[in-house]
Amino acid sequence: MAVLPVLETPRLILRSFVPEDAAAVTELAADRRIADTTLNIPHPYDLRMAEEWIGTHAQRLANGEQAAFAVTLKSNLALIGAVSLGIERRFRRANLGYWIGVPWWHQGYATEAARVVVDFGFAECRLHRVHAVHLPRNPASGRVLQKIGMQQEGVQREHTCKNDVYEDLVLYGVLQRQWQTDKDYS
Ligand SMILES: CC(C)(COP(=O)(O)OP(=O)(O)OC[C@H]1O[C@@H](n2cnc3c(N)ncnc32)[C@H](O)[C@@H]1OP(=O)(O)O)[C@@H](O)C(=O)NCCC(=O)NCCS
């Protein structure tokens, strides 16, 4: 895939990141609460990291390895977060990941954005399976996965290590044949 499509939900527009998003990404991702429950976002987080991260997207998309969407509000086009698929083409599977900036938590945005990206993964990337993991101490993420219709498949014991502490990961998955493309994005 050479370019990502623009995805639309009732309240959101999801699009490719552009270099000009780096400042907004930095402002949101630098909050310790984002790094605390994600596996790949460091803390402290600075503008150079955001620029580098955005700079990897085009090649990773061209390689068929990743589809990373900027989550923006339809009302004012503000960037509020990110949702991505880490794709393994050989197995037609992808890992779903997301974060939403703290000022926009608890309004259903992660659920709305994650659902349309999984739709995209099954419909456009022809995936067979989408999976996701969250830390047990991050139940809000588990709730997002449940709300979009993913099933809990088990716990990977001490599968990750953050700040020298091993932590479990709760694993969720959904198969293409189980995915319901309903348009209730709330
Ligand atoms: C996890 C995250 C993406 C959720 O974003 P959000 O936009 O607030 O999520 P939504 O509003 O769509 O849904 C959150 C759900 O979790 C629930 N929830 C929130 N805090 C909770 C808690 N402590 N315990 C249980 N459920 C909780 C909410 O009530 C809501 O469920 P409901 O609609 O049934 O009431 C956001 O908190 C975030 O970006 N966190 C930091 C990064 C991160 O953890 N990313 C995921 C890595 S796996």
- Given the CA of residue 138, which atom of ligand 1 is nearest to it? 44
* pLDDT tens-digit series, residues 73-113: 999 999 999 999 999 999 999 999 999 999 999 999 999 99
CA of 72 to the centre of ligand 1 (A): 17
* pLDDT tens-digit series, residues 17-66: 999 999 999 999 999 999 999 999 999 999 999 999 999 999 999 999 99
Give dist(CA 26, CA 44) in Å, integer. 10
* pLDDT tens-digit series, residues 117-163: 999 999 999 999 999 999 999 999 999 999 999 999 999 999 999 99
Give dist(CA 51, CA 165) in Å, integer. 29
| Tokens standing for residue 68 | 């990373």
Q: Are 117 and 83 in contact (CB under 8 A)?
A: yes
CA of 110 to the centre of ligand 1 (A): 7
CA of 128 to the centre of ligand 1 (A): 26
Ligand 1, atom 34: nearest CA belongs to which residue?
Answer: 143
Residues near 149 by beta carbon (within 8 Å), at least 6 away in sequence:
174, 178, 179, 180
Predicted local confidence at residue 182, as pLDDT: 53
Give dist(CA 82, CA 79) in Å, integer. 8
Ligand 1, atom 18: nearest CA belongs to which residue?
Answer: 140
Ligand 1, atom 3: nearest CA belongs to which residue?
Answer: 99
- Given the CA of residue 132, which atom of ligand 1 is nearest to it? 48
User: What are phi and psi for residue 129, nearest 5 degrees?
Assistant: -150, 145
Give dist(CA 62, CA 14) in Å, integer. 18
CATH topology of domain 7-178: Aminopeptidase (3.40.630)
